[in-house]
Amino acid sequence: MINASRQLSRRRFLGNFAFASAAIAAGPGSWVIRPDWANAAEGPIRLGIATDLTGSLGFAGNTDANVARMLVKEVNDSGGLLGRPIELLIEDTASDESVAVGNVRKLIQRDKVDLVLGGISSSMRNAIKDVIISRGKTLYIYPEGYEGKECTPYLFCTGPVPAQNCDQFIPWLIKNGGKRFALPGSNYVWPQTINAYARKVIESSGGEVIFEEYYPLDQIDFSSTVSRIISNKVDVVFNAIVPPGVSPFFKQLYQAGFSKNGGRLGCVYYDENFLEMNQAHEIEGLASSLDYYKVLAAEDPVSARIQSAYDKQFPAKFRFSAGSAATGTYRGLKLWEAAVKEAGTIDRDAVAAALDHAKIAEGPGGPAEMAPGKRHCRMNMYIGVAKGGQYEIVARSAGLVDPKEC
Amino acid sequence: MSSTGTGIQPPPRVIEAARSPVMASAFAGRKKVLPILELALLIAAAIAPLVLRDYITVYATRVLILCLFALSFDLVWGYAGILSLGQSLFFGMAGYGVALLSRDFGLGSIFAVLPAGTLIGFVAALLLAGFLLLGRHPSSVVFVSLGTMTGAYAADRLARGSHYLGGQNGIPSIQPMTIGSHELSEGPSFYYLVLAILVLIYLLSRFLLRSQFGLALAGLRENEQRIAFFGYKVQHLKAIIFAISGAIAGTAGSLYAFHEGFVWTNMLGVVMSTQVVLYVLFGGSGTLIGAVIGTAIVEGLSFWLSDNYRDIWPIILGVLLLLVILFRPLGLISLVLGERERVGSFGPSLKEKRNAAP
Amino acid sequence: MDTLLIATFEILSFGAIVVLVVLGLGIIASMMGIFNFAQGEFVLLGAYVTYLVHSVGLPVPLGMLAAPIAVGALGFVLEKLVVRRFYTAPVVAMLGTYALGLIIREAVRGLTGGLYLSVPEPISGSITIGSLHFATWRGVIVIITLLVMAASHALLAYTSFGLRVRASLENPSLARASGISTGMIYSVTFAFGAALAGLAGALIVPVFSLFADLGIRFLIQGFVAVMVGGLGSFAGPVAGASVIGTFSAWLPWLMSPVIADVLVFVLAIIFIKFRPQGLVSGRGVNR
């Protein structure tokens, strides 16, 4: 009796196993958005987006995927690129590097895309860049603002870097805050690199760094830091602590009376998404330095057009903002489109050569152009101050700011 | 369930049933399933690259490396009853070690890096075992598991803070491994290399566990006090198997570093450790092959789920794992293997015993 | 002197939070012999319920009242359905509750959209004594923690229900033989542990924001605290949590926070190695 039932379940088990492995081998479809029309001769141009659709960076990744959808539809509706439609393939990097590598391999080896755009955190970029560039021999565009120093060939960065965040911002902070700076940051590469650059600018602008300190990412109690800031009479806190620690830090700083006594908070990456993390009065007067703010729509018709097109197509949950690499994605795809048009082909080296000096006249926040030979992007930078839970633009760069990388 | 006592709590086993004479006759003359299963899987693994597409072969190579890692965990948990929640410590340390060798010294030859990784894992495990297991009072299961988990957690945090180790970004762009002058890049050749190593280590482990040492380990798992009374140095046994499993985890870690081309702090952390525990639990501990099957199934499921149920696949995975834990705590392998094959038989088989009895 | 006072207050309030989270964990571990790997996610759920109540416009204190009740009820249901199968195999319990925690965490992540959400404090502002500012809400947390602890202790020590609970803890078979329904006691205890975690989550969500990975941080800290404190008694987890919480908050004043973070755990492990029964050794659950 027992024998029979065991044999039955064994057969069933092996059968299920075989079915599952067959399904895996066949490769079920991932997220593909096929164009409405086709170019019979050459087939579509394949664009791969590898971004965090799930996991802790999901709020940013979904925004970037939406921007890609919006742009691809625009391009396809106006005749495609080089007469060919663009096919969009989206893979989830899941805020997890080991999953990401597997999924990006699908884009490269199975789907054979002509370009990969994506990655949000620097560790994600590091994880997938080899798969794309060296093993996959494909172009890679990285859209998020980061710490700089990425000079790999065929890797183009379209987000702001420390020079762009700091060069205009720090003098403004000194004028509108004071000379004594504190540099608290989360303990990883971006805060350390941007603080190193910020320190140079602070000191050459006549300011003084009182202390620089780093904390584990999930530290939530900052009493010792706040105490040091108050007792050392720091004027400006140039914050590089990231979520989840940033919200309790700002709250504790406020409760200790920092802004009430005239202190100024500066945090370069703080966009509209982050404004929700604290109560409005806790971050009143906070200044950030980004390449785009939503309120720009009031003064720049191009930004207004882009913002409203996005808002119409996509639900309010995933906002078009600078911190989620949405602006970098827009810029990156538009610059690539211009480069492909100039090169006249989709061949990697030709496109890379054209992308090296590509320019666009219309982008969120203004025009943009790649700095030749540097693979980084020049863009307009703005300084926004939080007032009553909204941003107000208090300074604009006098033209495109140079990234000063590589 | 005293957490401070000396008893260990192995996973529930139904051993008594096999001892009753009625049951014994039902089992007598049964074909052994385990060797058939092992052979079938080996053949399937050997021909897989020929039928699967390129990128899936690459994915399968990664799964094989994780199978090796899971094997190391099964050795300590399934056979010695040590719940090591920090296996990723050895996996990650070896990975970082060989990544540094490649970055700072340009060493990429397989004859240098694999032994180096294995050695790193071995030494780290030996040191940790020395602290956790040896001493006047025998350590409880909970303490050992907590101690190993803390080790992995501490290593993860320290690596995150170290600029030399690349911090949170890890060490990217590791040069490919070389055999002589031939560069080993991902694809069928790497696959077969990993498969060969996996089979080799599998056979070595089998050999080890069927020996006297393995017999003592089985006794250790079943009743630690009794084995101690027999004169076996229990803590030394544990330390040895722990160090061996650390060495295997180290081998897996160095292969992983070169295959993925990049190491980062998650390789050291608690999430990776728990992952490997789940693989073995899913497949079934105490059989070696269960670890392999469990890894393959869980990884395959994740791959498939993330494609089709993009938004909710972590939840589905969690539910599946929960169901297996609830209804098949011995793992999926229990659907196929009988109890005696799980525990492993030592000494003369039932048939010989029956023939020998008057 | 000023700094010392502020430091003491901050350290105390942080310690109180850790105590609330760990108390439930310790009670479950002492009583049923299993480590609940989903305790962090119960904290997350408490925070989420509070946020939900706030987001529909109801006052935050109502959410803070609802959270322990909701999470406790969920804990009760989970115990009856899932957890009670694990009592014979504590290791499987750890992994089973880990799977449960994974499901809860990913569900909350889906519901919050992966964002960081903020909840205002019911009583905001700070009390100023001289030149020192003490955040009012953190003081409230300390007071509520003390009250909850006192109430729990009174419940265990002075009521007949508490008597039955203690009996089941010390000698389950004899308790069953005496007619005490141990099954129901276990369910209620698990629910109580979950409710404590839910309360902790509700109280701390104004201090930190709500995000899906909130619970992970408390997991390891919780286990180490329970082991340091010792199992088998009420005072054990409290002592352990106080020590761990205090050290975690105090060491960053003395050294780099990165090192301080790791040092607490390493020291704790060394301590447990040489004193396995922890700070307060109780009779525990000996079977």
Same domain, A228 and A351: no
pLDDT at B310: 65
Q: C115 in contact with A at a CB cutoff of 8 Å?
A: yes
Residues A183 and A269 in one domain: yes
Mark which residues 59-98 of B lie under 8 Å from C by CB. Answer: 83
Q: Which CATH number fits the domain that encloses residue A200? A: 3.40.50.2300
A231: nearest CB among C3, C135, C249? C3
Question: Which DSSP symbol is given to A393?
Answer: E
- At C217-245, the pLDDT tens digits run 778 788 888 888 887 677 788 888 888 88
- Name the pairing type of β-strands A139-142 and A155-157: parallel
For residue A24, being part of any structural domain is answered with no
A213 interfaces chain C, CB cutoff of 8 Å: yes
Model pLDDT, residue A381: 92
In the three-class reduction of DSSP (H, G, I as helix; E, B as strand; rest coil), residue B32 is classed as: coil
Per the CB < 8 Å rule, is B55 touching A122?
A: no
Query: What is the model's pLDDT at position B342?
Result: 58
The partner residues of A87 in beta bridges, in order of sequence, read A46
Residues from chain A contacting residue B157 (CB–CB below 8 Å):
216
Instruction: Round to whole Å and give the CA distance between B263 and B102.
Output: 12
- The number of folded domains in chain A is 2
Q: Are residues A140 and A222 in the same domain?
A: no
Instruction: Check if the beta carbon of residue A255 is closer than 8 Å to that of residue C13.
Output: no
Number of domains in chain C: 1
Instruction: Check if A192 contacts C (Cβ < 8 Å).
Output: no
How far apart CA C231 and CA B71 sit, in angstroms, is: 33
The whole-number pLDDT of residue A161 equals 92
Residue C251 within a domain: no
Mean pLDDT of chain C: 82
Domain shared by A142 and A169, yes or no: no
Residue B90 near residue B246, CB atoms below 8 Å:
yes
Give the model's confidence band at B248: pLDDT under 50 very low, under 70 low, under 90 confident, else very high: very high
Rounded to whole angstroms, the Cα distance separating A95 from A76 reads 30
A183 in the same domain as A101? no
**What is the model's pLDDT at position A9?**
40
Test A278 with C261 for CB contact under 8 angstroms: no
Residue C233 lies in a domain: no
Q: For A17-24, what is the mean pLDDT?
A: 36
Give the integer Cα–Cα distance in Å for B241 and C75.
39
- Contact: A317, C261; criterion CB under 8 Å: no
- Chain segment B315-330, per-residue pLDDT in tens: 887 888 888 888 877 7
Please answer yes or no on whether B146 and C261 come within 8 Å at the CB atom: no
pTM listed for this prediction: 0.81
DSSP per position, A97-110:
HHHHHHHHHIIIII
Buried-exposed string A368-400: b where 16+ CB fall within 10 A, e elsewhere:
bbbbeebbbbbbbbbbbbbeeeebeeebebeeb
* Domain containing residue C99: 2-218
Residues of B in contact with A108 (CB under 8 A): 55
Indicate whether C253 belongs to any domain. Answer: no
At B351 the pLDDT is 53
Q: Report the pLDDT value the prediction gives residue B18, as an integer from 0 to 100.
A: 39
Q: What is the mean pLDDT of residues C197-202?
A: 91
Nearest Cα residue in chain B from C104 = B315
Do A285 and A183 belong together in one domain?
yes
Question: CA–CA distance from B81 to each of B162, B337, C94 (Å)?
Answer: 34, 20, 15
Domain carrying residue A361: 31-160+303-373
Q: What is the DSSP secondary-structure string of A140-209?
A: EEE-S--------TTEEE-S--HHHHHTTHHHHHHHHT-SEEEEEEESSHHHHHHHHHHHHHHHHTT-EE
Q: Of all helices (H) and strands (E), which one includes residue A328?
A: helix A326-343
Query: What percentage of chain C has pLDDT greater than the value 70?
Result: 93
Q: What pLDDT shows up at residue A17?
A: 39
pLDDT-derived band at C71, boundaries 50, 70, 90 = very high
Decide: B104 and B166 in contact? Cβ < 8 Å.
no
Which residues from chain C sit within 8 angstroms of residue A58, using beta carbons? 109, 113-114
Same domain, A63 and A151: yes
Q: Which chains does chain B touch, 3 or more C-beta pairs < 8 A?
A: A, C
Average pLDDT, integer, range A295-320: 87
Domain membership of residue C224 (yes or no) is no
* Domain spans of chain B, in order of start: 16-345
**CA–CA–CA angle B89, B92, B98 (5° rounding):** 135
Nearest CA in chain B to C220: B150
Give the H or E element holding residue A384. strand A382-387
Residue contact B169–A189, C-beta within 8 A:
yes
Residues of A in contact with B338 (CB under 8 A): 6
A238 close to A286: Cβ distance less than 8 angstroms: no
Query: Among C10, C115, C214, whose Cβ lies nearest the Cβ of A221?
Result: C10
> Residues A326, A268: one domain?
no
Q: Which whole number is the average pLDDT over B129-158? A: 82
User: Nearest 5°: phi and psi at B212?
Assistant: -60, -40
Report the pLDDT value the prediction gives residue B39, as an integer from 0 to 100: 85
Most confident option among A246-255, A284-293, C2-11: A284-293
User: What is the band of A8 on the pLDDT scale with cuts at 50, 70, 90?
Assistant: very low
Q: Is C284 left (phi over 0), alpha (psi -120 to 50) or beta?
A: left
The CATH code for residues B16-345 is 1.10.3470
Q: Is the pLDDT of residue B25 over 50?
A: no
